[in-house]
Amino acid sequence: MRPAAVWTADGFMSPADEHFDPFWARVNESGICAVVHAGDSGYTTHGYDVDGFASTGMAKERKYKPSIKAYNIERAAYDYLITLALEKLFERFTNLRVASVENGSQFLSDMFRKLGQATHKSIGWFKEDPSELFRRHVWINPFWEDDVAEVVHHMGDDRVIFGSDWPHIEGMPQPLDYLVELKDKGFDDATKKKILLDNVTELNQLQPA
């Protein structure tokens, strides 16, 4: 699913609104992994650049122009994922697994800071620590240029998944070149195997409630 608020006959609604609990209940019971994937989330640059989204990228003459548009994907994923936590989706559905794919990961540090602030600002709202619940229920696929050591620091090595969808933005022309990135960060063989294989293998297995 795309990282965006859901358009309904009554207007936009949060994906974690209780209105959608029947859907999440089916996902929870079945034990499948729900994937939130980069797409046209309807985000605007507010006039700073031309809006729109396409997997082929911008027109040739604009291909290498730096723009805030490059951050729309991560902004959308950030908003979507933190909303699931703030609206206690993982408290209601304890078997839910969500993988964030091709959305990047640089928002994680700020997101966890915001979840900590929300805990103190809304005393009594959360039954469990929303940051810990997030780490339990969400898997992150970083872009190749993201600091994978930072992602592991925030999520744990069992919640990071490798992406090789070249020429899309999270992959590399030679997928196993990512081994160099992992080696340079000093990960041992067990951690590298988790990131490259074991974690996504687990997500592809049913985990019935």
- Model pLDDT for residues 137-175, shown as the tens digit of each residue: 999 999 988 999 999 999 999 999 998 877 777 778 888
- Residue 107 pLDDT > 70, yes or no? yes
- Fill in the DSSP letter of residue 8: E
Residue 120 lies in a domain: yes
Cα separation, 111 vs 109, in Å, equals: 5
* Tally of domains in the chain: 1
- Residue 135 pLDDT > 80, yes or no? yes
Residue 27 lies in a domain: yes
Domain of 157, CATH number, reads 3.20.20.140
Q: What is the CA radius of gyration of the chain?
A: 18
For residue 139, give its domain range. 6-203
**Cβ neighbourhood burial of 22 (10 Å; 0-12, 13-18, 19+):** exposed
Average pLDDT over the chain reads 91
Residue 1 lies in a domain: no
Half-sphere exposure of 136 (CA within 13 A, CB side): 14
Residue 152 lies in a domain: yes
Q: What is the dihedral of CA 175, 108, 36, 193, to 10 degrees?
A: 40
Cα separation, 155 vs 136, in Å, equals: 9
